[in-house]
Structure 1
Amino acid sequence: MYSRQKSILKSVLVLFVLYAVAMAVFAWYTSPNNVPSAYQGTAADPATFFTPGQLHDSQTLNAARVWIFFMSAPWEWLIYVLLLAGGLSRYWRDALERRGLPIYIRFPLFVLLVQGASFLLYMPLRIIGYSLSRSYGITTQPVSGWIRDKLVDFGIGYVIMLAVSAVAFWIISRGGRWWLKLWLLSIPFTVFMMYVQPVIIDPLYNDYYRLKDPVLEKHILDLAKRADIPADRVYEVDMSTKTNALNAYVTGLGSSLRIVLWDTTLKKLDEKEILLIMAHEMGHYVKHHLEWSAVGAVGGSFVLLSVGGWLYARIARRRGAGWGIRGPSDMAALPLALLLMSVISFASLPVSNAISRNAESAADAYALKLIGSAEGSVTMDQTMAIVSLSDMNPPLLVKWFRSTHPSDMERIVKALEFEKQHEQ
């Protein structure tokens, strides 16, 4: 049995290396910032507003970004396979049992070991991403702050994984349609997490406060009033200590809803551009995208648990003995559950990303309509592209799996079309 597991591990490692090489070739030779001939020389062409140095940096950085992205999920899968086929999961369970510890101590310790091993083994890829972003001036966060955020990630992830896995394994041990019971329980949990995210979790990473510029806040609130949004404040978040990138977003549900502006956005964009961003975020509110996001999360968890649950039971039954898994409710099967969730989540990205891009496009259109002008939209998108050294027109595969928003090229083209229509 050991020789068979060793052979499986070798095969997995060889496939992983071959995949890494193939993705490196793909990332390098699908050069970024290639726009269709119809848009060359227009405001949507990066050659018209990127410097030659920025174009070169964008090409190199985005090739690395694409490689890191497409390596992220398989890297995570490899970790879980190593824990299973390498025998660590079984070894930790047995070692904790030999010490005679009660289950309410054994299980949290086991989850901590799995979470800790996954965190440490994944760290090299995180370090590569951080180092690249810092070397190109995107990330400004010092190493100490970055490590602190990663430790906060670890702590929050551990608490959530412990709570979810404890409930999941208990329900699985009861038999029956356990995946359906888990899905029903996931509904209030999903809504709760979306509610507490802006008021409890986000402040653990950054400082949030009322927008410092009262004149700008009044203009934003006036815009909200035109959109029939009952807003009484706008939030600013201190991001300049971590990044030069620009962003704004809407998050939360009900009374926890927040419209947030990064301070970097306030520093690098003028008022017309900021109001367009705010109008975009208001579009999400007006069109109930947050509520639909919650519905989508609930629907996604149904697919994840129904498909994943079937695969989990089947694999645990057929392969479990070789990995030392005694049954579906055995804690040693936790890496298998995490592996399946990760694989299914990655496979569903083209669908979820397409839905997200559609919502973002609708919010863009709403913003232009609310403002009544595209003035500032083109320069805003150009500035954001320059600051992030983004790919104006990513390859189709990258768009399917990585792009949650329309490309900068698409957004500029839409703004130009709006401008042209309203000039007539």
Structure 2
Amino acid sequence: MLMKNGVKMVKFIHTADLHLASPFQGLTEMPSQLWRQVYDSTFAALRRIVDAAITERVDFVVIAGDIYDGERKSIAAVDFFNEQLTRLAQQHIPVFLCYGNHDFQQVTAANQSLPANTRVLGNQVTTAALTLATGERVAITGFSYGQRWISTDVAKKYPVKGAVDWQIGLLHGAPYQAGADNHYAPFTVDELESKHYDYWALGHIHKHQELATTPPIVYSGNPQGRHKNEAGSHGYYLVHSQGSSLIPEFKPVAGIGWRTVSVDLDTCQTEAAVDRAITSAATSNAAGHLQLCAVQVTASRQQWRLLVENGSLLTHLQSRLRMKETIKWWPYQLTLATRQGEPHLPSLDQRYWAQAKQAVFTAENLAAVIKPLVKHQPLYDQFADHQNLAEFEQWAAALISEREKQDEN
């Protein structure tokens, strides 16, 4: 990025949590061509990011960890990643990356066979220097995980901003939470702000979000959602300078979306009407890419309820879609939804239920219950990645309602 009228200008891409070749969770049997599209989606998302880097003529790219899925790291994923780095090298675009808790490794010169444009930050906090064509000096500070868990506050070891024009913090970790295990390089927003960096490029949390704006402290999220708890928009951040500040702009690239859609079948008189109602709900606001849908059906008629409960309706919908040349959506789950989301309780008890929900259904409590039951750490990490507190609340509400009915009987 060239300097204009003497004003400092820089532009770069921030991405993280690529999880190349990561298996998608919770999908029923799919047509082979559809499964290939799903499997390739993490690769396609990275390709789009590299396309954007070249088109935008960015000064550099930063990747904040979890390029791979650890034990599921494949030769194909490594080759593809190197191919994309080479594309950037051919355009003289440097890449700075660190490894996270899923692709942790000891970083040595001997085990890093990456293109010359790529700088891997070591297992200790390291600062890499870059001088732009304009003469502006950029520093990128960060570290790579050498083990799956890092419980210490590594952010304390990051130096304050040096004598550079721009300093970027690269950090794969999670905000500190009181009472939690804090296994992923815990930090606080206050301590990151105290370093006086111009931008913090974060990884580990898969939902894009800005923790602060001055300076920007940003999770890019993962470019492609991989299971139903990773619904919503996924992509990367294009960051550009504006005066003395850096401005992040989110750019979606996911080719596959996860959705939960609700359909009321009480107005449907025929099976054809049922098909139309579900298809319409699943394809509305589809953003032009494949939608993987969990369908929640509300139905009073026993005819429709039975088709949902015995799996016939899901099988029917999937069979119809298999016959289409182009599949725009795929139902992987079809369930009956209750009209009443909470257990039916007296008003006083309802107040206690609301208070109990807030106190009981927390990530910390859920982990405390599950962790002793899961002996293998990779399995626990997989659970932690995929937990959905709303589902546990619904299950609890349904259980209480069922017990109420039994008591009444």
- Same fold, judged at TM 0.5 (above): no
> TM-score, normalization: structure 1?
0.22
Q: Which has the higher strand share?
A: 2
